[in-house]
Amino acid sequence: MISGIILTFKTLGVILSYMVQAAIQFPYALIHRHTYRALLSPNEPPKNIVVIGASFAGFFAAKELLQTVPSGYRVVVVEKNSHFQFTWAFPRFCVLSGYEGRAFIPVRDGLKGYAPPHAFRWVTGCVERIIPDEKTNGGSGGEGKIVLTSGESIEYAYLIVATGATATLPSRVGKNDKAEGIAELQRVQERIGQAETIAVLGGGAAGVELAADIKSYRPEKEVTLIHSRGSLLNTYGEKLQQAAFDELTKLGVHICLGERVQLAEGQTEGEIQLKDEAVSFDYIVKCVGQSPNSQVISALSPSSVSPSGHIRTRPTLQIADMDFHNIFAAGDILDGIPLKNGRAACEQGQLVARNVVRDIQGRAMLQYHQRWWEGMTKMTLGLKKGVFTINDGVAEACIFFKGLPLDMGSHHIWSTLGVKPSEEFQ
């Protein structure tokens, strides 16, 4: 009890600290907006700070840069998706229809709102390779260029790789275009609606939320959650693990723990062999197996990529290869980072942006150390109930709540990203 109260006050302290930082940063950003100059001289074009990827890590890196980038530099964001994809809402929108468009946010407009004149360029495209400056052989912070699949090349002075991970629904939509993403969500909705028996493979956050939403919205469905570990949410604290187990049980979800299932390639229905029996399902949803999108770094610097495909970095979040002083990484692609979520990605993106600016100014870079509050998590346990969990490594608190909007508070995310909610909310 006492430890929970202490943890709550520590959390309030963190929130207050961030509010103070935001208040302090506002006038500096306003001054920067009016004093920034893209060109230092008519014959000297601005140098590019290129951010590859505009999800949580990339967006917040770009936002931070646009408010602090020194004159003579500009921010170029290269994003393969037409819209920011609000992945937190995907499990819910795999079940409920009518809200899908709210998960696709035009963040280009949001970033433009933070940018001084001529400080920002947005490019929709996919990076094929990175080519370091041949004159320096990629060493000692030499500049270089990226080449897109379209054939366009963009020079960079600094490069931030925030390309995230690839997966399928309910974790990732697997489509670059908004219309195709909406169609994919609706396809899953249709499969869930037609199935009488559904297996959800994977008891992480996405699997727990999907199973709970299906059973809460469609109580007539027979839902089975299958997980390879001995407890659900095994990367979280014991209180949250037990809370999820209890709530799913109340909803009527069958839970099978310690079951490592092998599926045929592309299998989405049919028989699953468990330890003691074979069970057939009308629909099988995989909530496991995210793959980091590190191909551009593995081609450039194989030693900077771990066997799992994640990018190895120094404490400053520069890539591990000492030949590349000016290439950074942030987000789910990082190796050796235990907590991989949107909050941690935002922190990493902001730190990388600050380190780029510090390096331009000749100042020592900051080091990234993951902090306990980056693991604060809000999770739904059905349509009507959710839990907010805090864990500082010593104490754990779970705060239950009711009344979360059916659209997962999408309007708040739009506002956080600087985008005015559109006709999707009419």
Interval 34-50: pLDDT, tens: 999 988 888 888 999 99
Of the candidates 221, 160, 185, the residue with the CA atom closest to the CA atom of residue 87: 185
Tell me what pLDDT residue 139 has.
Answer: 43
Tell me what pLDDT residue 134 has.
Answer: 65
Distance from the Cα of residue 398 to its chain's centroid: 23
Distance CA 316, CA 330 (A): 10
Interval 170-202: pLDDT, tens: 999 999 999 999 999 999 999 999 999 999 999
Tell me what pLDDT residue 140 has.
Answer: 43
Is 192-289+376-407 a domain of CATH 3.50.50.60?
A: yes
Tell me what pLDDT residue 137 has.
Answer: 45
pLDDT less than 50: residues of the chain? 136-141
Q: Which fold has domain 2-168+290-374?
A: FAD/NAD(P)-binding domain (3.50.50)
Residues of the chain with CATH 3.50.50.60: 2-168+290-374, 192-289+376-407
Tell me what pLDDT residue 290 has.
Answer: 87
Tell me what pLDDT residue 335 has.
Answer: 98
